Amino acid sequence: MTNDTDTAAGMEAYIRAHPEKSVMELANKFKMTRYRMDTIIKTNEMLYHERLAFRKQKEEKLAEAVQVYVKKNPDATVSRIMENASEKPIAKQTFLRLIATYDIAIDDMRKVDERVIQQMSAYMEKYPHKTQQEIADDFHLSVSYVGRLIRKHALPYHRKRKKKGALEARELALCLAKHPEWTHQEIAAHLQVSRETVMKYIKQYHLLYMPKNKKEKKKIDRDALHAFVVAHPDLSILKVAKHFGVSEATMKKRMEKYHIPYRTPRKKGEH
């Protein structure tokens, strides 16, 4: 009979041996919820990064397959590429992420005929609020190519003002690829959007993002702190905090947590 340690070790070995399996498949295998399995993987840093590296390698091979197919079939439509570039059809969101991350040129390979131009014209008339990005996504085209079609064929597109803080998935994907070491906050500051928007787009478009390790809280030994305060009763909490290399707010929380009395700063005018 195996104990909990053996079960945990066996589970880790299985997950490591099957990096191609999704979190849901692993959850079903071990009869647990997807959330619990996801938590188990993410709390095991080595295992998590191994799966992330496998996913990255798999994506790179897929991107290479798309590039090879494009070179061999320069007149292929986007739909044909998505269906035939690999053994399995490529999902739309995955394809958009690939061309954004690996800078795959598809602008001039998509040949549209008069029928498609008419469809686009009717579409723009019916949905005047649609942006070029949305139109490009719906017709499986690049944004720049849609722009050229609008100008060349005088299509009824109403130019939209980009809202402050607006973000495009392609723009975010390029930023993530160029700066993999950045945090959500650093990315948000660079793109001039909120941190919440960055996190939402990463999840919505399944963009690759490597979580950054949070700064470890500095450990302060309770007995050492108590002994120092007793030995220096006249020191303010600020000076005690400086001695232990933490902020005044952090030191105040630690003292309250450990029930250690501290000196309250005098107000101006008090003697």
Structure-block tokens of residue 33? 């919820």
Q: How far apart are CA 114 and CA 142, in angstroms?
A: 18
3-state secondary structure the chain: CCCHHHHHHHHHHHHHHCCCCCHHHHHHHCCCCHHHHHHHHHHCHHHHHHHHHHHHHHHHHHHHHHHHHHHHCCCCCHHHHHHHCCCCCCCHHHHHHHHHHCCCCCCCCCCCCHHHHHHHHHHHHHCCCCCHHHHHHHCCCCHHHHHHHHHHHCCCCCCCCCCCCCCCHHHHHHHHHHCCCCCHHHHHHHHCCCHHHHHHHHHHCCCCCCCCCCCCCCCCCHHHHHHHHHHCCCCEHHHHHHHHCCCHHHHHHHHHHHCCCCECCCCCCCC
pLDDT score, position 237: 84
Please determine, for residue 64, whether its predicted confidence score (pLDDT) is greater than 90. Answer: yes
Please determine, for residue 1, whether its predicted confidence score (pLDDT) is greater than 50. Answer: no
Please determine, for residue 141, whether its predicted confidence score (pLDDT) is greater than 60. Answer: yes
In angstroms, the Cα distances linking 228 to 217, 221, 260 are 20, 11, 11
* pTM tops 0.85: no
Percentage with pLDDT > 90 across the chain = 16
Please determine, for residue 232, whether its predicted confidence score (pLDDT) is greater than 80. Answer: yes
Please determine, for residue 271, whether its predicted confidence score (pLDDT) is greater than 50. Answer: no
Please determine, for residue 266, whether its predicted confidence score (pLDDT) is greater than 90. Answer: no
Q: What's at 241, amino acid-wise?
A: A
pLDDT score, position 60: 92
77: pLDDT confidence band, cut at 50, 70 and 90? confident
pLDDT score, position 119: 87
Please determine, for residue 107, whether its predicted confidence score (pLDDT) is greater than 70. Answer: no
270: pLDDT confidence band, cut at 50, 70 and 90? very low
pLDDT score, position 53: 92
Kindly calculate the radius of gyration of the chain based on its CA atoms and give it in whole angstroms. 28
Helix (H, G, I), strand (E, B) or coil at 180: coil
5: pLDDT confidence band, cut at 50, 70 and 90? very low
138: pLDDT confidence band, cut at 50, 70 and 90? confident
Mean model confidence pLDDT for the chain? 80
For the segment 219-236, the average pLDDT, to the nearest whole number, is 84
Highest mean pLDDT among 51-65, 82-96, 140-154, 212-226: 51-65
Q: Name which residue leads in pLDDT, 146 or 266.
A: 146
Q: Name which residue leads in pLDDT, 110 or 240.
A: 240
